[in-house]
Amino acid sequence: MKVKQIMVKMPLVHPFTTSFGTQRDKYAILIKISDEEGNIGWGETPLERQPGYCYETTETAWYIQKEFLIPELLKLDTLTGYEQLSEPYSKIRGHEFAKSGIEAAINTYVANKTGKSLGDLYGSVRSKVPTGVSIGIQPDIDKLLTRISTFLDQGYHRIKIKIQPGWDLEVLKRIRTEFGDIKLMVDANSAYSLNDVELFKAMDRYELMMIEQPLHYQDVLQHKKLQREIDTPVCLDESIHTVTEAIEAIEQECAQIINIKPGRVGGYMNAVEIARKLGKNKVWCGGMLESGINRVHNLFLQAREEFSIPGDTSGSNRYFEQDIIAPAVKVDDKGYITLLHGKGLGVEVLEDKIEDYSIRQQLYML
Ligand code: OSB
Ligand code: MG
């Protein structure tokens, strides 16, 4: 068995600004597993260069995979599933995104080898999924309104805008005036505190689907205090890293909804478990500006029945001039993405395009 780590840098067609910074390129680690019989599997660890969204970065994940995760994988004689690694990986604390890239590659490898679609592994039941778009902070409100209008014209089912102090109530007022009762939500990426309760109360009038991660990235309990004060559902993103944390946050009424990012919760099987345990209307699938590889994984996850809320998985062209899969992910004019239930990923991985984006590669074998 061979394992390849590939660091890619993919230029974004539009800069993506959140309360923690601006990204102009998508960095990710691609993982390719291959064996002597020619079976292969692709996965991705989508992260950033800076520890802005979370403490993991592309470099910490590269290191954790190289030093700890890949050596354990190479010890296996035959690879049959990620559960073979749960014991050794449980001794490596945190680093969920690093683990999830390996997991995604193993899932694709196992699907390919057994002639199944990834959808069979993830329990997909739908052939197409409704989708939304996450729009970063723009230089001014008019630019934001233009962008929203473009995405609505393209069919997207719901609009998520990033907010931060000074870019919140006034922006929402303008959006409601311009676009009426579109499906709308906000993501604060932890830019506020409990001192801002009045501001969130004032947000209730805009009938948002939810407010994502308003408070500190490590906090859960203060979100409960906020949720008690407002009608709009609170959704947690940054604060949730495990299946248990997701279940507890909902049970303890700290939030009403969890944004499941498979990478943030240690992989797709954990994501499936959270969805199974919480059920419909409590979960949806977020994104990390993934390349086509994990974009397809995310789509198969969302084809499960629990994912009734449109996710952040937009079409490839919303992020990249040229994606690394063919066909690229496409949103139809009704805002749906149709899944391709072939073997494994169900799409072709364009290795020549990956070479164009590659900035570093390392091959491992015993
Ligand atoms: O908070 O959901 C987030 C992108 C990078 C880091 C954090 C977040 C996001 C997004 C974009 O909102 C989701 C996507 O389009 O993939
Ligand atoms: Mg978020």
pLDDT in tens, 215-258: 999 999 999 999 999 999 999 999 999 999 999 999 999 999 99
Give Cα separations from 34 to 1, 5, 26, 180, 365 (angstroms).
6, 12, 25, 51, 10
Q: Which ligand is nearest to the CA of 52?
A: 1
pLDDT tens for residues 307-349?
999 999 999 999 999 999 999 999 999 999 999 989 999 999 9
Q: What is the mean pLDDT of residues 100-124?
A: 98
- 290 CA to centre of ligand 1 in angstroms: 9
Q: What is the mean pLDDT of residues 130-150?
A: 97
Ligand 1 atom nearest to 213, measured from its CA: 1
Active site residues: 162, 261
344: left (phi over 0), alpha (psi -120 to 50) or beta: left
- Which residue has a Cα nearest atom 13 of ligand 1? 287
- In whole angstroms, what is the distance from residue 200 CA to residue 182 CA? 20
Of the candidates 107, 163, 117, 115, the one whose C-alpha atom is nearest the C-alpha of residue 138 is 163
pLDDT at 279 over 90: yes
pLDDT tens for residues 70-90?
999 999 999 999 999 999 999
Cα 265 off chain centre by: 10
CB atoms within 10 A of CB 183: 16
- Mark 27-36 as b/e (b = at least 16 C-beta within 10 Å): bbbbbbbbee
- Which residue has a Cα nearest atom 12 of ligand 1? 134
Q: Which of 12, 14, 134 to mutate to test the pocket of ligand 1 (most atoms within 8 A of CB)?
A: 134
- In whole angstroms, what is the distance from residue 128 CA to residue 171 CA? 32
Please give all residues whose beta carbon lies within 6 A of any atom in ligand 1, as ranges. Answer: 53, 134, 187, 189, 237, 286-289, 312, 314
- In whole angstroms, what is the distance from residue 219 CA to residue 142 CA? 34
Q: Which of 47, 55, 289, 323 to mutate to test the pocket of ligand 1 (most atoms within 8 A of CB)?
A: 289
- Quick one: CA dihedral 51, 55, 61, 64, positive or negative? positive
Of the candidates 214, 145, 144, the one whose C-alpha atom is nearest the C-alpha of residue 186 is 214
Beta bridge partners of 257: 235
At residue 68 the predicted structure's pLDDT band, cuts being 50, 70 and 90, is very high
- 141 CA to centre of ligand 1 in angstroms: 20
Helix (H/G/I), strand (E/B), else coil: 68: helix
Instruction: Find all residues with CB under 8 Å of 325, minimum gap 6, and list them.
Output: 291, 292, 293, 295, 296, 316, 345, 347, 348, 349, 350
Task: Please say whether the beta carbons of 311 and 129 come within 8 A.
Answer: yes
Task: Please say whether the beta carbons of 214 and 234 come within 8 A.
Answer: yes
Instruction: Find all residues with CB under 8 Å of 123, minimum gap 6, and list them.
Output: 272, 304
- 113 CA to centre of ligand 2 in angstroms: 34
Ligand 1 atom nearest to 133, measured from its CA: 15
- Which residue has a Cα nearest atom 6 of ligand 1? 288
Ligand 1 atom nearest to 136, measured from its CA: 12
Ligand 1 atom nearest to 189, measured from its CA: 1
- In whole angstroms, what is the distance from residue 271 CA to residue 64 CA? 21
pTM equals 0.97
DSSP code string of 74-123:
HT-SS---GGGGHHHHHTS-S-HHHHHHHHHHHHHHHHHHTT-BHHHHHT
- 214 CA to centre of ligand 2 in angstroms: 9
Beta bridge partners of 358: 8
Q: Which ligand is nearest to the CA of 286?
A: 1
**Per-residue model confidence (pLDDT) at position 297:** 98
Helix (H/G/I), strand (E/B), else coil: 136: coil
**Per-residue model confidence (pLDDT) at position 92:** 98
- In whole angstroms, what is the distance from residue 173 CA to residue 168 CA? 9
pLDDT tens for residues 289-318?
999 999 999 999 999 999 999 999 999 999
Of the candidates 288, 346, 275, 350, the one whose C-alpha atom is nearest the C-alpha of residue 314 is 288
Letter for the amino acid at 199?
A: L
Give Cα separations from 78 to 41, 99, 260, 277, 295 (angstroms).
14, 19, 30, 31, 27
- Which residue has a Cα nearest atom 4 of ligand 1? 288
**Per-residue model confidence (pLDDT) at position 366:** 86
- Which residue has a Cα nearest atom 1 of ligand 1? 189
Task: Please say whether the beta carbons of 248 and 277 come within 8 A.
Answer: no
- In whole angstroms, what is the distance from residue 231 CA to residue 148 CA? 25
Q: Which of 18, 22, 135, 160 to mutate to test the pocket of ligand 1 (most atoms within 8 A of CB)?
A: 18
- 259 CA to centre of ligand 2 in angstroms: 7
- Which residue has a Cα nearest atom 9 of ligand 1? 288
- In whole angstroms, what is the distance from residue 124 CA to residue 34 CA? 25
Of the candidates 350, 276, 356, 359, the one whose C-alpha atom is nearest the C-alpha of residue 32 is 350
Q: What is the mean pLDDT of the chain?
A: 97
Based on DSSP, count helices (H) and strands (E) in the chain, helices before strands.
13, 15
pLDDT tens for residues 8-36?
999 999 999 998 899 999 999 999 999 99
The 3-state secondary structure of 222-270 reads: HHHHHHHHCCCCEEECCCCCCHHHHHHHHHCCCCCEEEECCCCCCCHHH
- 184 CA to centre of ligand 2 in angstroms: 14
